[in-house]
Amino acid sequence: MMTLKELNSFGRMLTSFLLMFSMCFKSLAGRKLLRVYVQGQLSDIQRKNCEAIALKFDQCPRTLQRFPESIKWDEQRLRDRCQETVVRDHAHPEAIGLIDESGIGKSGACTAGVGRQYNGNRGKIENCVVAVHLG
């Protein structure tokens, strides 16, 4: 995790990186919210949820929470840009990619994405959240 001071020192590099994805967002508001979200994920905030990130960067929590659904963005273009970036920056004969599905059992129904589904960690259908990670 980076402190805000360290994050600020990477300001130009982060801006340059995020510019590669700017054409995926139809509005300036979308590009700004992307920057806030990425800064929050890279920051030293202990809980990396939209509310904590929004409050740390003086944004309305609900706006950041609804960012993926309320801002017009081109998902296919974003996917293509990510693939281009990975190929450009990680092309090496010994490079590997990993895709991992992780299930986390949940007893309540208040967590986003929770539902009765197959949890590979436990080998059964149960109330859980399933996430897919790419590395």
pLDDT along the chain (135 residues), means of 10: 67 84 89 90 87 92 88 90 89 86 84 87 91 83
What integer pLDDT is reported at residue 59 of this predicted model? 92
What integer pLDDT is reported at residue 91 of this predicted model? 86
What integer pLDDT is reported at residue 58 of this predicted model? 93
Look up the pTM and report it: 0.65
What integer pLDDT is reported at residue 1 of this predicted model? 60
What integer pLDDT is reported at residue 7 of this predicted model? 61
What integer pLDDT is reported at residue 2 of this predicted model? 61
Q: Which residues contact 93 (CB under 8 A, 6 or more apart)?
A: none
What integer pLDDT is reported at residue 52 of this predicted model? 92
| Cα–Cα nearest to 100, from 123, 128, 124, 132 | 132
Buried b (16+ CB within 10 A) or exposed e, 17-38: ebeebeebbeeeebbebbebbb
Residue 120 CA to residue 115 CA, distance in Å, equals: 14
